[in-house]
Structure 1
Amino acid sequence: MTTTPVPSIELNNGVLIPQVGYGVFQVPEDGTQRAVEQALEAGYRHIDTAAAYYNEAGVGAALRASGLPREDVFVTTKLRNGDQGADSTLRAFEASRTALGLDVVDLYLVHWPYPSADRYIETWRSFEKLYAEGAVRAIGVSNFLPPFLERLLAETDVVPAVNQIEIHPSFQQVDTQTASRAAGVAVQAYSPLGQGKDLHAPAVTEVAERLGVTPGQVVLRWHLQQGTIIIPKSVTPERIASNIDLFSFELTEQDMAAISALDSDERIGADPATADFTQVRA
């Protein structure tokens, strides 16, 4: 259990989001409840799921089993690409809310811009409706590159609270981060450890050895000191605990610069400009 409270980031509508969350991408349905319960026991108070992960029900079960007050846990879920559209967005949200067992979702994200369908503007207007009705406390986007974000800002009313994008030392998306922050949109990193690919770089391992922490903790701390929200994922109890134990040490400016110099524009996930999948199971 972490003994240091996780700091929160204030979103552009005043809602507070814990800066460290627990992500359940690729956590099997039958293992989700146990993994989330372990995360909550370790001190996480921010859980990130998605309709496309097909494990929202396990997240909801863990929340109920934990006995924690609802207001103590921040819950994010996301809309699948195949559910984009004015009416289908509203139906999909109800399905997610039911699976989670929640009356109100803290943060609802458009998972991908899905440009081949060109429905993200009408989808966002349905998000605005859910927000106005109080069904969600904040609305945001994921994988939105600057052109998609610029169009959304120009054609709709509510500025996204968050843009959740792939960020790790070897893939930092500086332009997207800059555009998001300039618009008042908080930046959230998924795959913050590069799925392990960045943990063996000397710039990381040398700092870890000097500070007596793990390479993973060094990379996560690098994110935090930039004001980024992170959602590391693990199903190993020890790693779940270490991924939130980030507040007893600090990186120097030189450490930060050395890790930032690892950027090589090597994306792990799909390119949002061309990603063309529904996320709906056959």
Structure 2
Amino acid sequence: MFSLLQVLSLILAIATTSLASPGLLIRGSPTAIMNEARGLTNAERFQRGLPPLAPRALYNPTRVRRDSLPSSSPTIVAKIAVSYKDTGAAVGYMRGASVNTESFATIFSFRNPPSASDLVELNDYSSGQHYVFAAYTDGYYVGPGSDDSLMLSTSPLSTPAGSPQEPDYTKGPTQYSESTVWSIDPSTGVVEAYWVNQDGSRDQVYFLASTTQIGVSTSTLLAFTGDVAAYKAQYSSSSRTYNEVTLTVTFS
């Protein structure tokens, strides 16, 4: 016959063994359910009343590399990369006034500038035409306080740096354009642009990536304006977002 002390010792031993047993501890516990659920598909998780798996990151945007222009080349032939100004993350490549993948990027050519203050014409390498800023009205103002934007067009029209719009009769209807508007920093390849107003004032043109969401599809176009805040306030919508971007010459 067991004494009371022996019975108590036996109960204590059984309890200790139960607590130390991984199988007994895991069975039915929240930790066990979560460990088991990690291997389930979303359909299986839904059947068990569990939330879906967290989405996996399929794209990790990289920053656009900035390279100096080769000083020995009188003419530069390159693509232009588009990146978000605030983060430096890549958006894509210029294809005219749109943003696309590198394989569909426009090939540009331009005179190698000695400094960023030396404005140049940006040309389409295949056709030789100039990428110009244009509007359908003469005396078009672009600058602080205006939500207006410019068209980016190709044309044989060539205008000197510092001159206001000139009529482009190759277009129908007639466009009023400027071609020598591009500033390219030879040390970084960063591209800027400037518009000369009718009164002779020169204002910087800022670049925006305009992303439109239609169902599950998105399309991204470039917008060119003299006042980012005014433009975004006027044209932002639930289906269209605007982010300021940087253009950079790239040789990749």
Give the helix-richer structure, 1 or 2: 1
User: TM-score by structure 1 length?
Assistant: 0.22
Give the strand-richer structure, 1 or 2: 2
